[in-house]
Structure 1
């Protein structure tokens, strides 16, 4: 009974000491202490649904394929598995470890004594070797905390990689459709110029126009012809980028020939009072890195104190007869205390390194918050200005189109000047191409809003 009480007292003492953990406990920085970060899975659900608001079947298919086939995303997923395996390994350090061993040994002339000449001895041992490191000062606990935070960071980074991939696919798709649109616009402008050239040529043959006027209209025709290869190169570039993101070879994608840029049926809305930082995977990732660096201070600090471990053996030892039985049973217990007393200078240096790493992680986290806030505001402002520019350019294009019609009718009737027609044609070409560029720009900036808000922005 007394022995049982002693063992119970020792167990309680060890458990009490193990409940202590040196080093600072982690607390979310005050700047974002009121933000409840979503779990990575909630972030991913919203981040992987916003693009469906465009109701573009081709874009939907591209993104679905990219989420399955993209190799960078597969690498990030494998990194999550690796990080959680590291965490499970660190978390198992709290438990006793052991191996099952069986050893056979034979030797001749085991000593230098002449009496042992030619003597062969044999021995056999089998049993369990056990070891247990008592986590008296929380070194193992802090290491487990750090590994868990790093695993959570890897998980968040994987979901952030999905957000970035979706944004890249949507942006490249917009660039492809934009190049298609500019190519179609150039071909339409070329047809319009050919109509004007036919009028000039007819008037030239009738003696009502000059060779100079025909040469001037030909200049614009050749300018449009010269721009067409650049649009085709832009389309090929966007196709190659999309193919790489989807893990395919260039030219295999079936994107169709209709050059329509996706548009929202409803405008986006920012909810007043909503803290969108909680949707930002990069902010959440930096916060988890800070938690890991804080825990590593405790790992380094624990080396200031002694470490106690217990080693033991339970099994059988046999001599020359190689028999196993109750008479050959064996056990041993060997408590060990180790302390880096002669190397405390190095221990303190490692603590300072861990503290500096924690300060670096804190600064990185705070900067990430500032960058995220500014990026969200910039994306909204840029998109709103782009929409204003697009509306103005649409009105400019409509006015230019009317001006060309009027100038062409007047010139054909002999009541208008050729220079007026030439200027109107030139302005129409510029306005229509500019409108195509701004339509592409507006779409890409809209994608930028969703990316900068982590997919958390909603439609109204």
Structure 2
């Protein structure tokens, strides 16, 4: 007889309930809200940078049609991106599954049984009974448990979408890097071959001088050693080019051996000598997919506090059932038909300590998500500052190496002419040529590294994920 008072009490208790748990808002203490995080970059004051927005397709700043085509193909066919797309589709399906918890649910059941009273004669077959019915339930979600669960699933999906975007950033950057690496390897090879040609000319002159009595076998040996040393540098440059070609093909969703053949002979790498557009910290926070992913994970963790809190309250749904129960002989008759309507209540009231513990777990998870959000933000800013500084310093070094290479080439040419006329010794010639070899090799390596540093900057800035 306590059903009516209990139902009334529950109705009064639930009448004041709303969606429980905290409503998500970006915490004021989050690192993204700090003025220093949204200010211009500390390393961006260099003349190598421009405080203007980074274009979505930053690789088009190079004006290289081949690079544009390679990145377009990679963004369409890369295997890692296909994995990320599949993960996003799965996350969307999870949201649909959770959202379906708000809809009407139905269940159909039936069965047959044979009943024979104990003690009856063995020849009696007993009574065959049937039970066939349908039940329906519609959740009221008075505490907002389903609402919060949907919010959590949507946050997870948005975090997965941002993670997919982060893969796009990486694919675009690494495709540009691989293409540039193949071309700069050819530039290094060309520099080595130029030096090697000069050294072979010196060897030829030295051999002729020896035959004419003006040179020694020692001079010839030293000249041949210089040639051998330069020839030894060629295989590593070829290996570097081959590795870059294989990596480029893989990024584009091809087998390694199916690399673009024209890149194997490209002699000029994509270059951009104008200041790099970098924007500021506020633009970075809006653009970087990993920051967005961490923020959406925080929103999902906050919603799960509400999911756990809702377990403190009864879960109420409107239900109904209808069917036939009884012996087979009465199936379909009015006496066997039954129908029921009314609220269905589920409440884990005796387990409140468990629910409180679950709420505490969800709160701790939200705190961890906030800390991870801050960590991701600060790490992103560090990566950008580091990349900007490294590029600016390499640009300065590259300019100094270019001046060094010019001076070394002039000195080597002067030493060669003086040696031919007998006005300097062979050691001076070899020293000048060795200095030129080093200067050209260093400049070629710096040209390659400079492009690599540019890609580091664009990757750290998080450009390239936009569709």
TM-score, normalized by the shorter chain, greater than 0.5: yes
Contact 1:14 1:136 (C-alpha < 8 Å) held by counterparts: no
Please state if 1:218 is matched with 2:207: no
Cα pair distance change 1:220/1:322, threshold 3 Å: farther
Does the CA-based 8 Å contact 1:123-1:322 persist in structure 2?
no
Does structure 1 conserve the Cα–Cα contact (< 8 Å) formed by 2:56 and 2:464?
Answer: no
1:154 corresponds to 2:152: no
1:387 aligns with 2:419: no
Contact 1:276 1:456 in 2 (8 A): no
* Correspondence for 1:24 among 12, 22, 25: 22
Q: Which ranges in structure 2 are unaligned for 5 or more consecutive residues?
A: 1-7, 39-53
Give SS of 1:251's match: helix
| TM-aligned CA deviation for residue 341 of structure 1 | 2.8
Deviation at 1:336, TM superposition (A): 3.5
- Compared with structure 1, are the counterparts of its residues 112 and 404 closer, same or farther at alpha carbon in structure 2 (3 Å cutoff)? same
Which position in structure 1 is the counterpart of 2:272? 264
- Partners of 2:295 and 2:282 in 1: how far apart? 19
1:399 corresponds, among 403, 407, 410, to 407
Is the partner of 2:139 in helix, strand or coil? Answer: strand
Match of 1:134 among 123, 129, 140: 140
Distance 2:453 2:334 in 1: 80
Measured in 2, the distance between the counterparts of 1:82 and 1:131 equals 27
Shift of 1:298: 1.3
Q: C-alpha displacement at 1:163, in angstroms? A: 0.5
Tell me, yes or no, if structure 1 residue 121 matches structure 2 residue 128.
Answer: yes
Partner of 1:193: 199
Which aligned pairs between 1:157-172 and structure 2 lie closer than 5 A?
A: 157-172=163-178
Q: 1:90 aligns with which of 92, 98, 110?
A: 98
1:445 to 453, 462, 467: 453
**Aligned counterpart, 1:178:** 184
Alpha carbons 2:169, 2:464 under 8 Å: kept:
no
Instruction: Tell me how far apart the structure 2 counterparts of residues 47 and 160 of structure 1 sit (CA, whole Å).
Output: 16
Which moves more between the two structures, 196-205 or 59-68?
59-68
C-alpha distance in structure 2 between counterparts of 1:123 and 1:444, whole Å = 77
- Matches of residues 418-429 of structure 1 in structure 2 within 5 Å? 418-429=426-437
CA distance in 2, matches of 1:320, 1:15: 43
What SS does structure 1 have at the residue aligned with 2:257?
coil
Tell me how far apart the structure 1 counterparts of residues 281 and 229 of structure 2 sit (CA, whole Å): 52
Residue 357 of structure 1 corresponds to 365
- The CA deviation at 1:438 is 0.7
**Counterpart position of 2:110:** 103
Q: What secondary structure sits across from 1:445 in the alignment?
A: helix
SS in 2 for 1:305: coil
* 2:453 pairs with 1:455: no
Q: Distance in 2 between matches of 1:302 and 1:379?
A: 47
Q: 1:23 to 1:280 in 2, by over 3 A?
A: same
| SS of residue paired to 2:265 | coil
Change (3 A) 1:385 1:423: same
**Conserved 8 A contact 2:98-2:149:** yes
2:438 aligned with 1:430: yes
**Aligned with 1:251 (options 250, 257, 267):** 257
Partners of 1:131 and 1:47 in 2: CA distance: 52
Aligned-partner SS, 2:345:
strand
Aligned mates of 2:20, 2:447 — CA distance in 1: 58
TM-score (norm 2): 0.85
Partner of 2:379: 371
The 1:284/1:106 distance shift into structure 2, 3 A limit, reads same
Conservation of the 8 A alpha-carbon contact between 1:96 and 1:133: yes
Q: Contact 2:321/2:341 (CA < 8 Å) preserved in 1?
A: yes
Unaligned runs of 5+ in 1: 1-8, 38-45
Residue 189 of structure 1 contacts residue 429 of structure 1 at CA under 8 Å; is this kept in 2? yes
SS in 2 for 1:132: strand
1:339, distance to aligned residue in structure 2 (A): 2.7
CA contact (8 A) 2:143 2:310 kept: yes
Equivalent position of 1:238 in the other structure: 244
CA distance in 2, matches of 1:149, 1:307: 24
String of CA shifts for 1:40-87, please: whole Å, max 9, x gaps.
Answer: xxxxxx876211222223322322222222221111111111111111
C-alpha root-mean-square deviation of aligned residues, in Å?
2.9
Q: Is the 8 A contact 2:191 2:441 kept in 1?
A: yes
Contact 1:293/1:357 (8 A) holds in 2: yes
Q: Any conservation in 2 of the 1:383–1:442 contact (CA below 8 Å)? A: yes
**Paired positions, count:** 435
SS at match of 1:401: helix
The separation in 2 between residues aligned to 1:171 and 1:240, in whole angstroms, is: 12
CA distance in 1, matches of 2:463, 2:172: 10
Tell me which of 72, 77, 83 is aligned to 1:75.
Answer: 83
Contact preservation (8 Å) 1:21, 1:141: yes
In structure 2, C-alpha distance between the alignment counterparts of 1:318 and 1:50, rounded to whole Å: 75
Distance 1:139-1:273 versus aligned 2 partners, 3 A rule:
closer
